[in-house]
A and B are shown apart, each in its own frame.
Chain A
Amino acid sequence: MKIELNDLEDFARGAAFLGTGGGGDPYIGRLLAKHAIKEYGNPEIIEPEDLADDALVFAIAMLGAPTVLVEKAACGDDIDLAIDKLSKRLGRRPDALIPIEIGGINSTIPIVASVRNGIPLVNADGMGRAFPEIQMVTFNVYGYPPTPLSIVDEHLNAVVVDAEDAKTAEDLVRSVAIQMGLSVMTANYPVSGAVVKKYAVKHTLTLALEIGRAISHGRTQGEPVNSLLSYLESTKYYKHCKILFDGKIVDIKRETTKGFSVGHCRIDPLSGVGDSVEIIFQNENLVAKINDKLIAMVPDLICVVDRETAEPIPVEALRYGQRVKVIGASVPPVMRTLEAIKIFGPRAFGFEEDYIPIEDISP
């Protein structure tokens, strides 16, 4: 596959869909990628199947507070240094880079890293969507830790972190990021080509781009939501997709606790008659329920889109009165194993319910 300048808007929109309400506004990421591609050319993208088993792969991400990111974007040198520091620690340069998550702003940051450093980008990622914490990655699920990892700020201050487990790494990274001004670059999850082939969520760069294209194309036909669903249905793993609900937002509550935007949103049918749906989010949409019965839950995708344009609506932009469709979709098997559900299934976010795949829930 290829990602060129003209693809960035579709790609970022697809990434916003896969962000399921979180992942940060991809706008800044899109601008960084736009400038980097103009300056350095298109990224070389390789398929995970083509990686050598002993290849070394780094995940690349930007980390911080969304409110700071809108003011202080990366300088570029910080991205390069994050790669250099981790390379030095391991005594080896990476053969390829991979996005840690495909949802939101971190879908485009690895493009910048790839073109600046002439390192190919793998058509895959470590979450298959967006999640709030660094341990919620498939590599960690299957026993491959995020450390050692590097964190670099725009002044090129750098820290290399080793930690006994992924959660400790998350806590350490968070406190360093605060000290560094809450907009930092990190290179992490140094894994082998064999691990990527086995445990990454594959072909998600293609997925994001095609979702964005399906929405754009649908707009020219006047049917963006249907166009999006037809595309998902044509895929191997996301084909169990449906409009979970069609209605109007009538209540929205959110608060910021422990660094997360937590809350819920209630949507009534447009006719005003019938059951309403409630969506609960913690940065990302976690579950959707009708009358206390879950109709979709993490890690399956739950995305709120504008019902006319299919524009994905981030959690912070949900507002009373918006006419929306709630779309649910299945995710690849690697995200649905028992081990995976333990790390990012409903119970990992404090819900009492066991995970049930979206296709097994009767309407």
Chain B
Amino acid sequence: MRIGVDVGGTNTDAVLMDGRNVIATKKTPTTENVSDGIVDAITSVLVQSATPSDKIQCVMIGTTQFTNAFVERRNLVEVGVIRLSLPASRGIPPLTDWPDDIRAVIGDNMHMIRGGYQYDGRINSELDEKGILAAARQLKAKRIKAIAISGLFSPINSAMEERAEEIILNEIPDSIVTLSSRIGRIGLIERENAAIMNASLADLSIKIVSSFRQALGDLGIMAPFYISQNDGTLMKAEFVEKYPVLTFASGPTNSMRGAAYLSGIENAVVADIGGTTTDIGMLMNGFPRESSLTVDIGGVRTNFRMPDILAIGLGGGSIVNTEGALRVGPQSVGYKLMDDAMVFGGKTLTTSDIAVAAGYADFGDPALVKGLSPKIVSGAVTRIHEIVTEGIDKMKTNADPVPLILVGGGAVLIDRDIPGTSEVITHEHGGVANAIGASIAQVGGDIDRVVSYDALGRDQALAEAKEEAIEAAITAGAEPGSVQVVDIEEIPLSYVPGGSVRLRIKVAGDLNLDNIARAGK
């Protein structure tokens, strides 16, 4: 049996799973000290099902703690930045476009050094090892322990970044080094930003991961635990301590993966309707479609592997304004729904009141919304459905109808067919879809590089890349037979001769539950 946990900004959810079956679920408020909330939620599902803690084989956790910390500039550390690119890119030093408040936290510890590759993997400049050593000594003197390394075209060849890491660890053995090639794609500035963000979370990641460990220890759960990343696959806890930035945006991914799991449908549009917003995304082969655009997080531009999510201002707490033209949202009563909504004795007309008044939701006291004019109720119902319809249409890649899976607490708002969809699917455990998504996350592997089809031929180039990605997934703990290619993307490089193609392949496989006992904690 395994446990999935989602530690969100507002709620901490837990779900106990046995194979494909959901045994128990629990939603509790997230606590200041996150481990308390986790202990509460897990205790509840264990007690509900009378399951002893030693029956738990594995725990999977999804969390927004790191994203929130970065956005709120909390618990971040000073970072040393080393870029291997000279003479190229001197015109844009690291942190050029970062907001001042976060630059103040990161500090001014930048070192641009000779090194880097060309787009086709040729060396652009030989690595200046002495320069790296000098930089390491300066960082050591400033007692900086968190270090980010970026290199020109490092996603195509990471050898120079790795060599730089070696030199730094030799000089500052207790430093924590982030390599840009491990977390980002082509696009030096965005990839470097991600590496610096990651390094700034070095202290917090150790603290959070150990509080997860402590929570499980307090509960007597000795099983290993994993943390889910933004592409719906799992990372070992030790890996998250090193790469916390990879958890950014894992929340929407987990809810979409949970939706796929609960419905048994792998290609669909998912709407996760919460209290204030609805997140809409496309499922492709059971995984969220990734965003192809750059994403700003806390004012910093990144090119993470992020689900392509459209957030719209509609939720169960959205305020229905009846003065003048009827409007629904984006203002919301948020977490005060239980006090402010009319069905709970409050004075604010919300979408939840409309759903109760229209007779397709049943909570609170329906008598309190009896007096609403039928015109307002039907007008608001129509508007709610229009908003969702429009959002879904924006996310679809073509006009063909697709199934719609509704999850989240606000799913009750939808009662009619949605144009552009073939069917509307809900599930009794839809409210804890993120925790379920965390519990079923897979182990992934991926490659992203420029290859020459003229040199290798397309078939062989693809085959080699696939094999490498599968190997990466197995190394990460995937069951060899279960690893499948989930996405292949080929981008012909304009202006580049020799049939050069930017090739991205992503594979994922089931976590081998039997192997994890041996893998240890």
A residues contacting B by CB (< 8 A) are 27-28, 31-32, 34-36, 64-68, 70-79, 112, 154-156, 174, 177-178, 181-183, 248, 250, 256, 259-261, 317, 319-323
Contact = CB atoms under 8 A, between A and B. Distances in A.
B397 interface: yes
B495 A322 contact: no
**Among A66, A67, A112, A259: residue with most chain B CB under 10 A:** A67
A321 B393 contact: yes
A32 B92 contact: yes
A95 to B, nearest CB: 24
B397 A72 contact: no
B494 A112 contact: no
Interface string B384-405: 0000000001111111000000
Contacts of A72: 85, 88-89, 119, 124, 152-153, 188
B480 interface: no
B189 A181 contact: no
B71 interface: no
B118 interface: yes
B397 A320 contact: yes
B90 interface: yes
Given A260-B494, A320-B396, A34 B97 contact: yes
A76 B119 contact: no
Given A181-B118, A317-B293, A320-B396, A71 B153 contact: yes
Given A72-B152, A320-B397, A67 B92 contact: no
**Among A71, A73, A178: residue with most chain B CB under 10 A:** A71
Interface in B141-188: 152-153, 186-188
B397 A256 contact: no
Contacts of B90: 75-77
Interface in B84-121: 85-93, 96-97, 118-119
Contact of B119 (A68, A75, A77, A79): A68
A129 to B, nearest CB: 20
B104 to A, nearest CB: 16
B315 to A, nearest CB: 20
B69 interface: no
B8 interface: no
Nearest to B394: A321
Interface of B: 85-93, 96-97, 118-119, 124-125, 152-153, 186-190, 292-293, 301, 393-399, 491-497, 502
B495 A31 contact: no
B493 A70 contact: no
Given A75-B90, A77-B87, A320 B119 contact: no
A70 to B, nearest CB: 5
Contact of B187 (A70, A74, A77, A155): A70
A320 B292 CA distance: 13
Given A71-B186, A72-B188, A35 B87 contact: no
Nearest to A320: B397
B188 A112 contact: no
B96 A28 contact: no
Given A65-B119, A67-B494, A156-B87, 10 more contacts: A35-B92, A68-B496, A70-B186, A70-B188, A72-B85, A72-B124, A72-B152, A75-B89, A154-B124, A317-B293
Nearest to B89: A73
Given A34-B97, A73-B188, A156-B87, A261 B92 contact: no
A317 B294 CA distance: 11
A156 B90 CA distance: 13
A35 B189 CA distance: 13
Nearest to A67: B493
A183 B399 CA distance: 39
A65 B96 contact: no
B189 A28 contact: yes
Contacts of B393: 248, 321
A27 B293 CA distance: 13
Contacts of B186: 67, 70-71
B88 A154 contact: yes
B495 A64 contact: yes
A96 to B, nearest CB: 21
Given A70-B186, A181-B118, A28 B398 contact: no
Contacts of B118: 181
5 contacts: A28-B92, A65-B494, A72-B119, A181-B124, A261-B494
Nearest to A33: B91
A67 B189 contact: no
Contacts of B493: 65, 67, 256
Given A31-B189, A34-B96, A75 B91 contact: yes
A259 B494 CA distance: 5
A38 to B, nearest CB: 8
B119 A181 contact: yes
A158 B166 CA distance: 35
Contacts of A73: 88-89, 91-92, 188-189
Contacts of A261: 494
